[in-house]
Amino acid sequence: MTVEINTVYDQLAEYCDCLDVKESDVTELISLISVHTCWADEDNLCGTFLKGDRQEVVDLPDCVCDCDVFTFEPRYVPFDPDSFTFTVIEQEGITETATEITEYVYSAIDENFRMELPLPQCGCMPKCGCEKKYKLLVTYVAGYELIPDCLLPVFCEALQWIKIKNTCDCEECEPCNADNQTEGVIDYTTLTGRLQDYFLDTLTKQYVRHLAMISVCEYKRELWAVVV
């Protein structure tokens, strides 16, 4: 019987056949991987690598030359080229004016967008008056609907350590009898920290190159967010 795979949970439940896969564990795993591959950061605290809405704000120059063509390379990949909207925001004092960009070209080879922007021409700038600033607001849909097949072993291994962390109790875990703890009291902070350190150390050594494939860190596809 063929199991229909619609979500990451379905995918892991089917592939990781030796594990009792729980949705809460999968959610935690997705969050952990998203942080360490920069899908979640200070600009998008709850972001994940799953397919969803994205937004980027790009600082633009104050003016352009006649032949200038602006090139935009999306941070989040893979993306849906048909989902993009581009809006130039002109800021002058407390006033903001939005202009939607409707004419642009997408290059499937370079995976970027090229467009002419409605900015002042260099050499024609006024010499006085309020300074204007320009930003490009970009919205689009990007991310993974399912985990790439080649990364499923990585995710199953990671999910196993998530389950260990979440099911550990006083009878199974060494920190319960530590000298610096009050008798009968479990230091779950220390316990969780040790398991996470071990998990990350193991994951880094074995799978860093695999997870770099979905990383959107500054040097995407080369490094991920932990120091190795």
- Looking at residue 48, what is its pLDDT? 92
Share of the chain above pLDDT 90, in %: 38
At 163, list the tokens: 């389950």
Cα–Cα nearest to 47, from 59, 34, 60, 57: 34
Q: Taking the chain, what is the end-to-end CA distance rounded to the nearest angstrom?
A: 43
CB of 117 within 8 A of CB of 69? no
**Distance separating alpha carbons of residues 156 and 147, to the nearest angstrom:** 11
Cβ of 96: how many Cβ atoms within 10 Å?
Answer: 11
Task: Give the CA diameter of the chain.
Answer: 77
- Average pLDDT of the residues in 34-60: 88
In this predicted structure, what is the pLDDT of residue 205?
62
User: Which pLDDT belongs to residue 99?
Assistant: 93
Report the range out of 42-51, 77-86, 87-96, 111-120 with the highest average pLDDT.
77-86
Q: Is a pLDDT exceeding 80 seen at residue 41? A: no
Q: Distance between CA 132 and CA 179 in Å, rounded?
A: 63
pLDDT at 221: 37
Q: What is the mean pLDDT of the chain?
A: 78
Q: Using the predicted structure, report yes or no on whether residue 126 has a pLDDT greater than 80.
A: no
Of 19-28, 33-42, 132-141, 170-179, the least confident: 170-179
pLDDT at 40 (0 to 100): 86
- Mean pLDDT, range 149-169, rounded to an integer: 83
Average confidence (pLDDT) over 156-166: 84
- Per-residue pLDDT at 65 exceeds 60: yes
* pLDDT tops 60 at residue 55: yes
Please state, for a pLDDT cut of 70, what percent of the chain lies above it: 71
Q: Are 142 and 84 in contact (CB under 8 A)?
A: no
More confident residue, 140 or 36: 140
For the chain, domain boundaries: 8-50+147-214, 52-142
- Give the pLDDT confidence of 177-208 residue by residue, as tens digits: 444 444 444 444 455 566 566 666 665 666 77
The conformation of residue 212, written as its DSSP 8-state character, comes to G
pLDDT of residue 223: 34
- Whether 88 and 118 have beta carbons less than 8 Å apart is answered as yes
Peptide linkage before 78 cis (omega within 30 of 0)? yes
pLDDT tens digit string along 76-93?
999 999 999 999 999 988
Per-residue pLDDT at 224 exceeds 60: no
Q: Residue 120: its pLDDT value, please?
A: 77
pLDDT for the residue numbered 145: 94
